[in-house]
Structure 1
Amino acid sequence: MGRWRRVWSVPLLVLSLCVAGCGITVPSDPQGTLDRVRGGELRVGASPSGGLVIIDGTGVGGSLAEIVDDFAASVDAEVTWTIGSEEDLVDGLETGALDLAIGGMTDATPWSTRVAVTRSYDSIPGARGPVVLFAPLGENAWLAALEGYLDREVAR
């Protein structure tokens, strides 16, 4: 046993130091979205889509809007709504003006090269099929928190 310890102790120590020195924290947010939203403002873009997203003047309602409001409450954030087309919302996510976008988007979206797309959820009231939400690309901790909430609160 003593010889085994001598033979493997140095390589194991080196390997441990290499892994520890990598600074890997998964998932991470290069732009800090999750940290900024917690206890602050959640900037959400909304595109009208039947009962999922209902625009009434400047107000936003519907089943997806309610889910977003509940998610915001879970991270102690206030929702600020922006209404626009899907293209406008994608632009807002890319420029950092928005943290999340909702509408009648599906996993067949053509925007998946420009934004992060959540897993699909087909049990959202008013949905005619699986629905996805959009988030900024690369904000993986933010996306993980959002999907964790949706997985717990919205039956897939």
Structure 2
Amino acid sequence: MFLDERTIATALLSFVSAACSIPKDPEGTSERIASTHELRVGVTDNPPWVSATHGEPGGIEAELVRKFAKSVHADVLWTTGSESVLVEALKRHELDVVIGGFEKRTQWSSQAGITQPFAKDADGKKHVFLAAPGENGFILNLDRFLTERQRDSGGAS
């Protein structure tokens, strides 16, 4: 069976179009952030990574989130809570990101999306953010930001 040039071109165009649209956000996280200009972030207290006991969260990760939000032209809406409550909110897509000094080998990896490691602590443990599961386009965007920050700071992982 021989294919004509038009059939091959159509098939190639379909393949390229599909490849360009990967990865996707099934729940539309990136699109929602772009339209509402709001990044919904859960925080759990774990200094020095996150300090969430008084007013606006502080710490290494809170500052990274603020810079990421600025890069996507969004304001941060903070929600403070326990890890389990925040991960449940991620699973329901009520939050976009959860921060709190999470290590790469977190117990939450089966329930949340995990960014690439962006920092290493004094014990050599790699740290990550948690994100809404399945929102691969959003996680890729966040990973790119974190990788760029890591490169700018001389690397941490």
Question: Equivalent residue for 2:117?
Answer: 120
Query: Secondary structure at 2:57's aligned position in 1?
Result: strand
Deviations 1:32-64 (A, max 9, x none): 111111261101000111211002323200010
Equivalent residues of 2:97, 2:130 under 8 A apart: yes
Quote the RMSD (CA, aligned, Å): 2.6
- In 2, distance between residues paired with 1:127 and 1:74? 31
Query: Distance between the aligned counterparts of 1:153 and 1:116, measured in 2?
Result: 20
Q: Segments of 4+ in structure 1 off by > 4 A?
A: 20-24
* Separation of aligned partners in 2, 1:22 and 1:59: 42
Unaligned runs of 5+ in 1: 1-6
Contact kept, 8 Å, 1:52 with 1:127, in 2: the verdict is no
Amino acid at match of 1:76: H
Which protein, 1 or 2, shows the higher relative CO under an 8 Å CA cutoff with sep ≥ 6?
1
In the superposition, the TM-score normalised over structure 2's length comes to 0.83
CA offset at residue 132 of structure 1? 0.6
Identity of aligned residues (%): 32
Per-residue deviation, 1:98: 0.4
Task: Report the count of equivalent residues.
Answer: 150
Give the Cα separation in 2 of the matches to 1:94 and 1:85: 14
CA contact (8 A) 2:61 2:101 kept: no
State the TM-score, normalized to the length of structure 1: 0.84
CA displacement at 1:130 relative to structure 2:
1.1
2:144 paired residue number: 148
After the TM superposition, which residues 3-152 of structure 1 pair with which residues of structure 2 at under 5 Å, given as runs? 7-9=2-4, 12-13=8-9, 15-16=11-12, 19=15, 25-38=21-34, 40-123=37-120, 129-152=125-148
Q: Give how far 1:127 is off.
A: 8.4
Helix, strand or coil at the partner of 1:141: helix
